[in-house]
Structure formats: structure tokens, C-alpha cells
A and B are shown apart, each in its own frame.
Chain A
Amino acid sequence: MVKLDQINISNDGLTKFFSPIEAAILRSLWNEGEMMTSELTEKTKIPLTSIAGTLDRLVKAGYAARRVDTVNGRMRYVYAPVYSEDEVASEITTKIMDSLVDTFGRVAIENFSKYSDKK
């Protein structure tokens, strides 16, 4: 969960930084906004038994928030993303850049400026 020692550069997309289930949940929350557990299992096509523990972890880590909704005598969670996709992207980028500058100093900064030139 966005710890630098768990980054997996050879993976695709968000799974470089998150587990596949975490990535699928975050992707759905960013697309849909608020979602119930049943909607999440439907959208991600991940069975509840696999998704439930990950939801607990995402909430604990602060990436997702949930509130309890009581409707017609039933209780259910409603999930929402805590940070936007851009905010998470910015957090990850900063972490990685910090570590690159920390390790390679001047060379890392020179390479970053190449990017801003291209832009």
C-alpha cells in the first residue's frame, strides 16, 4: 500500500503501487464516487470474501472512507475515496522523486529538468 519498498515497476498501471484488488477498488471509487459493498463487488467482479479484508485495509490506511447507512432496517457501508486520483498520483510521485534525489542527487534533478523541458 504505497510503501516505497513495495513498488513493482514491472507491473501495469496502479498495480505498480497497489495490490490488484486495492487498485480495482480505488479505480471504481474514483469512477463512481460513493459506492455500496454490493456495487463494489459487482463493478470489480471480485467476490466479497476476497474484497472485504482489502476494504478494511484501505479504510485503515486512509485511502477510502466509509459510513454506515441504515435503510429499511438494514445496515450497510457506503464507501467513498478520501483522495482524488490526482492527489494520490501526486503523493506517489513525490515519494519516488524524494527517494531518487536522496539516492542520486544532482543526476536525478538533471533528469527531472529534461522532463520539464519536453513539456
Chain B
Amino acid sequence: MNLIGEINCFGLCLKLSENAPIVGLLIVSSVALLVAGIMIKMPKHRLSMFVSAQITVFLAIISTFYLMKCEGMLTIYLYFGYALVSSAIIFGALRFYDRVMIKRLNAKPIKNVLSWIQEFTGGLANATVYYYDSAVPRAFAAGRSVFVSMGLLEILTDDELKAVLAHEAWHIRNNSRTPFLKQLAVMTFSSHKKDELEELADIFAVEIAGSEALSSARCKVDKVFI
């Protein structure tokens, strides 16, 4: 069976099936959730609306497959193969990405040189802070590690640094949840809402270090911490 033939077959099956309204309902509600999500201001609720929309899309895909009651369809095999490979990458490889970065950047634990940075970050999340040799100011989180460049340590004041560390700590705290979000995005062919996550991380940073510290850090290093 070829792919084009299968896609026509999906349309035909949906038309004939008595369960087709269920798929229709799922698609309509996912669009409604998406629209509601766009209108909501609070990043947290906007994110949950978006995730609900993704879940209904996913359910629509699964129930369409279920309606297809025939065996050995290429599209279904392709979709599950795609699911398997992407989850292996997202849940397997990305969790150990910090090991790769430590090697690649030749990063060193910061507790040996500026112990307060490790203590501060360790108090917010179960994370180890590493610093690496580069004048370009940068900070990012991967796995259970926060990476800061020497350039970042040079130009930020302690308060600004705390804001950046809190932002990264939020990512680590939520790293157990974000892979599910990523997986969901991959399964529904939608882009995962990075902006919402960044906003939530910033809100946490403001709670911990104050809005002044965060905005002056952002000002100094304009978009170099993610």
C-alpha cells in the first residue's frame, strides 16, 4: 500500500465510521484550546492551555488510527517508529547532555573557586554549577548542570548573577517535566513553547533575586542566557 493511497483511505474510513464525530470533536476542542491559550495573559495558564490543545491533537491522531481497523498500515508504523526514536533522544540522550558539555567545554565545578555560587544554586535546585573558559558571557542549563562562562562571571554583579542562576535553576527543577512537553510537541508536530518556559524561568528569577537584578543582567548580556 502506498502512502497517498493510505491518506485517501483515512478520509474514506473517517467518513464511513460512526465514531468520526469523536475525532471531529477532538479537533474542534484543540482549536478552541489553542485560541483560548493565545488570549490568556498568564504564562503558566497559557502553557497549560497549549499543552491541553496538544493532548487533544494527540488523542485525535490515536483515535483516527483506531478507526482504521486494518493491520499493517505504513503510516501507523512510521508514526510509532517516529515516536520511539524521538522519545529515545528526548528521554535518553538529552538527560546526559551535560556530560557531553562538560567534556566539550572542559568545564570545571565552580564550588572550588566561588563556593557561594554552588551553595546558592544548590539551595534552589539539585544542580551542579560549572564554569568554562570563554570571554563571551553565557549561561545555560543541561541535564542536572548549570554552565556559566568566565565572561559572565566577569561582567555581572553578584545580584545579577543570582538572577541568572535562579533562572537556570528553574530549568533544572522543571527538567523532569519539560521532556514530556518536548515529546508531546514532537508527537503532535507542533513547536514546543520555549517562550512560555523562558517567561516562567524569569518569573522565578524575579521572585528569588528581584526584578531589578534580572533586568540589569538581561541588559548587560542581552539574550545570552537561555
Chain A residues within 8 Å of B, Cβ to Cβ: 37-38, 48-49, 51-53, 55-56, 66, 68, 70, 73-77
Find the A residue at minimum CB distance from B136. Answer: A52
* Interface residue B154 (Cβ < 8 Å from any Cβ of A): yes
Chain B: residues with Cβ within 8 Å of the partner, total of 14
Could you tell me which B residues sit within 8 Å of A by CB distance? 113-114, 116, 131, 134-137, 150-151, 153-155, 222
A52 & B137 in contact (Cβ 8 Å cutoff): yes
Closest A-chain residue to B116, C-beta based? A73
CB-based contact B150/A48 at 8 Å: no
A53 touches B136 (CB 8 A): yes
Q: How many CB-defined contacts (below 8 Å) exist between A and B?
A: 41
30 contacts between A and B (CB under 8 A): A37-B135, A37-B151, A37-B155, A38-B154, A48-B137, A48-B151, A48-B155, A49-B137, A49-B222, A52-B134, A52-B135, A52-B136, A52-B137, A52-B151, A53-B135, A53-B136, A56-B134, A56-B135, A66-B135, A68-B150, A70-B113, A70-B114, A73-B114, A74-B154, A75-B113, A75-B131, A76-B153, A76-B154, A77-B135, A77-B150
Query: Closest chain A residue to B222 by CB distance?
Result: A49
Kindly state the separation between the CA atoms of A52 and B153 in the bound complex, as whole angstroms.
Answer: 13
